[in-house]
Amino acid sequence: MLDLPFFLDTLSTLIGGVPLTLQLTVLSVSSGAMLAFALALMRVSGNPLLDYPARFYIFAFRGTPVLVQIYIVYYGLSQFPVLRQSMLWPFLREAYWCAVIALALNTAAYSAELIRGGLNSVAVGQIEAARALGMSRPLAFRRIILPQAFRQMLPAYSNEIILMVKSTALASTITLLEVTGLAAKLISQSYRPVEVFIGAGAIYLTINFLIARLCAALQTALSPEKRAAPAPAQSPETEAPRHG
Amino acid sequence: MADPTLAGRPNTPAVELAGIRKSYGHHEVLHGVSLAAQDGEVVSILGASGSGKSTLLRCINMLEIPDAGTVAIQGEAIAITRRPGQPPRSADMAQVGRLRAKATMVFQSFNLWSHLTILENLVEAPVHVQKRDRRECLAEAEALLARVGIADKRHHYPAHLSGGQQQRAAIARALAMKPSLMLFDEPTSALDPELVGEVLKVIRDLAAEGRTMLIVTHEMGFAREVSDRVVFLHRGVVEEEGPPAELFANPRSDRLRQFLSREGWKTSAPC
């Protein structure tokens, strides 16, 4: 069934697409996170002029397929002469940047809600204590709310990163030869989808396994309060006497 | 009826409230409460739940902003912006921050910051609000923790401590600001009965060293023992006020008499 030499050969070709897959992920997740943070602040601002635009953004980007968003950016933007003549055009005409932009805009919508959830999860008493000890709002936000919100949202956010790794596969539809793009190319040459797609799947699985472990390690490192209490210092009277 | 004006006093009071009113929706919780505490005075605020005693305490450090009336800490009145149709706001957040650091609060539910160790909890505000030297603050924090009897817990997180230990840490955190006034909002109400004593002991020691404190409490025996003055709040007004010995022995108003018998304070042995 499975042709092992062909499979290994395929795998080594597909691994060539990993750098592009990772680039798309890292660029879209990091720029998406910044946009998401701004959107989350707009959502929790309590100002309708900021809240409602953010709500609409999230509504629009969560309610439409990523593939449609990629197509709109890649095929749609060239319809606007303003954009074609703008300084951004060298970027916007590249499939690479179109994929990054579309994926970033998409993950921003989901991440904004994760960040908002994290911010809202911080107990009122924690914030009151900060105020009662004289902290200004920005200081309380930076020192108390944000660190606690970050710990709270990290598990859900690692999920979002994993979803983004998988979403980069859609970049293959706009000519990019990342892992899935290479896989499609190999299949059209070899007509052996089983080996090729199992190889591609194994690569995504490995990347996501590593991301999940990394996030779990970060979570543990950031939540010492969830671990056991530090052991009391050894003192002579606490040592159990040994009976011979 | 208590008369809040203390004529002929030599110094500016540590805290002075005049005509404090506070409503939530259409329900007025405080109907014009006036109260003052001199330097070194311990004032206990008693009252049934819903009498407005916690709200009153929270008005002092602007966690609640009174709809009417003034709050002055060491003679400095807190600026409040009141416009018709809008909730009142503090006019000068920098002033509020500065005065809050002078009048620190200990909460019923401790509210230690869960992501910081006990030691970090103590130095957080002195370092970042008062901009004091971190090393100096750490040394002071260690001494404070030793004083409240939890020096061995300094590298623990709040979740690893018992309620009594957490409240003692919270008191140490309030002390680390070197406040001129301390506000206690039912400091033992969230504790298991066997842990109440260790917290009261810390507060009693603070009273003995002459700290200015306002204490909202249900511990009648404790209030009688440590207070210089007791204020009984009933439905948002000061119903009765006076030295504890007098007030507990001969309550003048029926309401205080009823309240004291309901609380059964005579049977609760002083801790």
For an interface test with A, the pick among B111, B121, B122, B150 (most A C-beta atoms closer than 10 Å) comes out as B111
Question: In angstroms, how far is CA B94 from the centroid of its own chain?
Answer: 21
Please answer yes or no on whether B156 and A230 come within 8 Å at the CB atom.
Answer: yes
Q: Whose structure tokens read 């329900």?
A: B27
Burial class (CB within 10 angstroms; exposed 0-12, middle 13-18, buried 19+) of A151? buried
Distance from the B26 Cα atom to the nearest Cα atom in chain A, whole angstroms: 23
CA distance B95 to B89: 13
Distance from the A111 Cα atom to the nearest Cα atom in chain B, whole angstroms: 23
Please answer yes or no on whether B174 and A136 come within 8 Å at the CB atom.
Answer: no
Please answer yes or no on whether A229 and B160 come within 8 Å at the CB atom.
Answer: yes
Distance from the A232 Cα atom to the nearest Cα atom in chain B, whole angstroms: 8
Please answer yes or no on whether A139 and B128 come within 8 Å at the CB atom.
Answer: yes
What is the assigned CATH class of domain A4-223? mainly alpha
A232 → chain B, closest CA residue: B152
Helix (H), strand (E), coil (C) string for B206-242: HHHCCCCEEEECCCHHHHHHHCCEEEEEECCEEEEEE
Q: Residues B82-107: pLDDT tens digits?
A: 998 888 998 899 999 999 999 999 99
Amino acid letter for position B232: F
A137 → chain B, closest CA residue: B93
The pLDDT of residue B233: 94
B98 → chain A, closest CA residue: A134
**Residues of chain B neighbouring A133 (CB-CB closer than 8 A):** 100-101, 104, 124-125, 129, 173-174, 177
Residue B194 three-state SS: helix
Q: What element of type H or E holds B36?
A: strand B27-37
The pLDDT of residue A233: 52
Q: Residues B200-226: pLDDT tens digits?
A: 999 999 999 999 999 999 888 899 999
Structure tokens at A38: 């701004």
Give B123's Cβ-side CA count (13 Å radius).
19
- Whether B188 and chain A come into contact, CB under 8 Å, resolves to no
Burial class (CB within 10 angstroms; exposed 0-12, middle 13-18, buried 19+) of B20? buried
Residue A11 three-state SS: helix
Assessment of whether the complete model's pTM goes beyond 0.80: yes
Q: Whose structure tokens read 């671990």?
A: A227
Cβ(A219)–Cβ(A155) under 8 Å?
Answer: yes
pLDDT more than 70, % of chain B: 94
Cβ(B69)–Cβ(B17) under 8 Å?
Answer: yes
CA distance B254 to A66: 72
Task: Give the phi and the psi of residue B214 in degrees, each rounded to 5.
Answer: -115, 125
- Whether B128 and chain A come into contact, CB under 8 Å, resolves to yes
**Residues of chain B neighbouring A144 (CB-CB closer than 8 A):** 113, 115
User: Which residues of chain A register pLDDT less than 70?
Assistant: 1, 231-244
B18 pairs with which residues across the strands? Answer: B70
- Cβ-nearest to B157 among A131, A132, A225: A225
Q: Residues B126-142: pLDDT tens digits?
A: 999 999 999 999 999 99
B42 pairs with which residues across the strands? Answer: B213
B179 → chain A, closest CA residue: A133
The pLDDT of residue A38: 97
Strand order in the sheet with B181-185: B103-106, B181-185, B213-216, B42-46, B229-234, B237-242
Residue B167's pLDDT band, with cuts at 50, 70 and 90, is very high
Judge whether residue B269 has pLDDT over 60. Answer: no
Burial class (CB within 10 angstroms; exposed 0-12, middle 13-18, buried 19+) of B252? middle
DSSP string, A140-162: HIIIIIHHHHHHHHHHHHHHHHH
- Whether B48 and chain A come into contact, CB under 8 Å, resolves to no
Cβ(B18)–Cβ(B34) under 8 Å?
Answer: yes
The pLDDT of residue B114: 94
- Cβ-nearest to B157 among A137, A148, A224: A224
Mean pLDDT (chain B, rounded): 90
| Rg of chain B (C-alpha set) | 18
Task: Give the phi and the psi of residue B149 in degrees, each rounded to 5.
Answer: 80, 25
The pLDDT of residue A83: 83
Query: Would you give the end-to-end CA distance of chain B in angstroms?
Result: 30
Among A58, A18, A59, residue whose Cα is nearest residue A211 = A18
Among A76, A79, A100, A99, residue whose Cα is nearest residue A173 = A99
CA distance B172 to B183: 13
Q: Whose structure tokens read 């793009």?
A: A181
**Residues of chain A neighbouring B159 (CB-CB closer than 8 A):** 225-226
CA distance A118 to A147: 10
Quote the longest CA-to-CA distance of chain A: 92
The pLDDT of residue B3: 43
Residue B268's pLDDT band, with cuts at 50, 70 and 90, is very low
Distance from the B262 Cα atom to the nearest Cα atom in chain A, whole angstroms: 30
DSSP state of A75: I
- In degrees, to the nearest 5, what angle opens at C-alpha B112 toward C-alphas B108 and B114? 130
CA distance B98 to B25: 30
For an interface test with B, the pick among A122, A133, A146, A148 (most B C-beta atoms closer than 10 Å) comes out as A133
Please answer yes or no on whether A129 and B156 come within 8 Å at the CB atom.
Answer: no
- Cβ-nearest to A129 among B93, B111, B152: B111
Residue B1's pLDDT band, with cuts at 50, 70 and 90, is very low
- Whether B174 and chain A come into contact, CB under 8 Å, resolves to yes
- Cβ-nearest to B97 among A134, A143, A232: A134
The pLDDT of residue A1: 64
Please answer yes or no on whether A129 and B112 come within 8 Å at the CB atom.
Answer: yes
